[in-house]
Amino acid sequence: MNVSKSKAIALLVSLVVFVSVATNITTNYFTSKHKENYNVGSSSQLPEGYARFASATKALDTDFTVAADLTVHAVVHVKTKGTVQQPQMDMFNDDPFFQYFFGPQQRNNRRQQKQEAVPLGAGSGVIISKDGYIVTNNHVIANSTEIEVTLNDKRTFKAKLVGTDPNTDIALIKINADDLPTIVFGNSDDLKVGEWVLAVGNPFNLTSTVTAGIVSAKARSIGIIGSNGSGNMPIESFIQTDAAINPGNSGGALVNTKGELIGINAAIASQTGSYAGYGFAIPVSIVKKVVTDLREHGAVQRAILGVNIANLDADAQEVKDVIKDKNIKTLNGALVMNLVEKGAAEKAGVKKGDVINEVNGVKVNSVSELQEQIGRYKPGDKVTLGILRENKPITLNVGLTNAQGNTKVVTYDGTINSLGAKFKEIDTKIQKSLGLDYGLQIESLTKGKFNDNGIKPGFIIIKINNNPIRSEEDVQAAYDEAMRGDDKVLYIAGVYPNGKVTYYAVNLED
């Protein structure tokens, strides 16, 4: 190597060392000044948001493939069928007692004929147990007589309805299968606005689809549950997301980036019925309670506080009057407008004008948040309410009840076994002699609700709760509808073979 070349290399190395040392000295100087200015050792003295910068930037580097792979196989396509019936004139229309039971009936001369099952609609569902329990929306399976489930691997099963809760728009169905893929339940309470989420559904009966977005808001109430008359005590505390959710995704999964279930997709905000920017999901905190009750009892054990409540920022004049009269100075909490006489809240000392802002130590800022918290408990549970009364904080202990004011457990196994009846088609001769166009006859009775209420073998059921009865499936549908209601009663109209028209009211809770 010649000398000039060696000198050039030596000069270059020296220059690199000099630049490195100079950079190090400069960096140390400015870092030292930064520490002096912000005292990095104490996060309380950092600029707002500075302490979370590292974790926030790390959160941006998110790979959705793992969460998608953990969840798509546990999301299914749900298809339903139902029957269409036409109005019919029957032998009961002129009976005054029939009018007393069911109200005035529309008269016409057309005979009613049972139609074959026709498609009603479709949606998605989420497998939550290896042995085939699937959660979906109540509105996906409502009024159906047949439910069919297609898995992500294309296998198809007939599903049995376990139970429904129109008040939260949750339904539980079951297929006969084993070793199915499932989604692990997460914690919707830990969700933060701005957090990434995935909406997983199977709307087209192909394979599951995934869309991504963020949590836009929590505890949203949009007035959709009960708008069709299905839920009489609606509980709405939706997770709002901008992940694309279309109608066929109803009943699908909302999951976090760990692949944990944090909600069941339920609705979209759209004038056209197609995705338009916002979707809504039922928090898994509500889903867990409902599903557990449906599996154990066949009906939700709903706890009632016994209050009529409103948001403090509501425009209603009566709300403004209460706020003014009570000199309320907060907008956080649920305002007590009225109380149910002898209800749980009244017995505990809650008063009109109180502001409930806490349940068992959990802050509640709105009606929807209060409903979500109370919805986690069952009749008989005791909760401690944090209340502002005349702007002064107090606490009251409340023993929750059910809608009937007691703590009795409503049991229902999802079938009509508790009626204790075996059914058969009407004998042709009896049908002609009585002039019946439809009905279902009781062949025999064992211990059960029918026997307890004086119903005898041979009785022909014509209507239950004003619904025509032609088959055991119709009885099941009427039973399901009654169990979803408040009074849990079957109002039965029928006739014995000797022509004696008789009416029964069967209380399903006794």
Catalytic site includes residue 34:
no
* Strand 421-424 versus strand 440-445 pairing type: antiparallel
The percent of residues in the chain predicted with pLDDT above 70, rounded, is: 76
Residues 336-357: what's their mean pLDDT? 93
Predicted local distance difference test score (pLDDT) of residue 412:
60
Predicted local distance difference test score (pLDDT) of residue 24:
55
Catalytic site residue from 230, 250, 285, 368: 250
Predicted local distance difference test score (pLDDT) of residue 38:
35
Is 249 known to sit in a ligand binding site? yes
Predicted local distance difference test score (pLDDT) of residue 13:
52
Predicted local distance difference test score (pLDDT) of residue 405:
83
Predicted local distance difference test score (pLDDT) of residue 25:
52
Structure tokens at 107: 């008269």
Q: How far is CA 62 from the centre of its chain?
A: 29
Catalytic site includes residue 250:
yes
Q: How many other β-carbons are positioned within 10 Å of the β-carbon of residue 291? A: 24
* Weakest-pLDDT range from 262-276, 312-326, 479-493: 262-276
Residues 483-505: what's their mean pLDDT? 86
Of the pLDDT bands very low, low, confident and very high (cuts 50, 70, 90), residue 349 is: very high
Predicted local distance difference test score (pLDDT) of residue 267:
72
Domains of the chain, CATH where assigned: 62-103+116-300 (2.40.10.120), 307-400 (2.30.42.10), 416-507 (2.30.42.10)
Predicted local distance difference test score (pLDDT) of residue 477:
87
Find out whether 124 and 147 touch, Cβ atoms under 8 Å: no
Is 321 known to sit in a ligand binding site? no
Q: Which residue has the higher pLDDT, 320 or 32?
A: 320
Predicted local distance difference test score (pLDDT) of residue 42:
40
Is 311 known to sit in a ligand binding site? no
Predicted local distance difference test score (pLDDT) of residue 87:
45
Of the pLDDT bands very low, low, confident and very high (cuts 50, 70, 90), residue 7 is: low
User: Which of 315-319, 366-370, 383-387 reaches the highest mean pLDDT?
Assistant: 383-387
| 452-463 per-position pLDDT tens digit | 889 999 999 999
| 36-79 per-position pLDDT tens digit | 443 333 444 444 554 444 454 444 456 799 999 999 999 999 99
Predicted local distance difference test score (pLDDT) of residue 285:
92
| 381-433 per-position pLDDT tens digit | 999 999 999 889 999 999 999 877 888 876 665 567 778 888 999 988 888 88
Measured CA to CA, the distance from residue 232 to residue 167 in angstroms comes to 7
- pLDDT over 50 at 253, yes or no: yes
Is 139 known to sit in a ligand binding site? yes
Find out whether 336 and 307 touch, Cβ atoms under 8 Å: yes
Of the pLDDT bands very low, low, confident and very high (cuts 50, 70, 90), residue 275 is: low
Measured CA to CA, the distance from residue 444 to residue 155 in angstroms comes to 39
pTM: 0.69
Residues 175-182: what's their mean pLDDT? 96
DSSP calls for 203-270:
SSSSS-EEEEEEEEEEEE--S-TTTTS--SS----EEEE-S---GGGTT-EEE-TTS-EEEEEEEE--
Catalytic site residue from 90, 139, 237, 366: 139
Is 77 known to sit in a ligand binding site? no
- pLDDT over 70 at 12, yes or no: no
Of the pLDDT bands very low, low, confident and very high (cuts 50, 70, 90), residue 239 is: very high
DSSP calls for 319-344:
HHHHHHHHT----SSEEEEEE-TT-H
Catalytic site residue from 90, 165, 169, 480: 169
Q: Which residue has the higher pLDDT, 192 or 117?
A: 192
Predicted local distance difference test score (pLDDT) of residue 416:
79
| CA-to-CA separations, 25 to 28, 30, 139, 395, in angstroms, rounded | 5, 9, 68, 61
Predicted local distance difference test score (pLDDT) of residue 111:
44
| 194-234 per-position pLDDT tens digit | 999 999 999 888 788 899 999 999 988 877 775 544 556 77
Chain-wide mean pLDDT for the chain?
81
80 Cβ neighbours under 8 A, 6+ residues apart: 119, 120, 121, 122, 140, 141, 144, 146, 147, 148
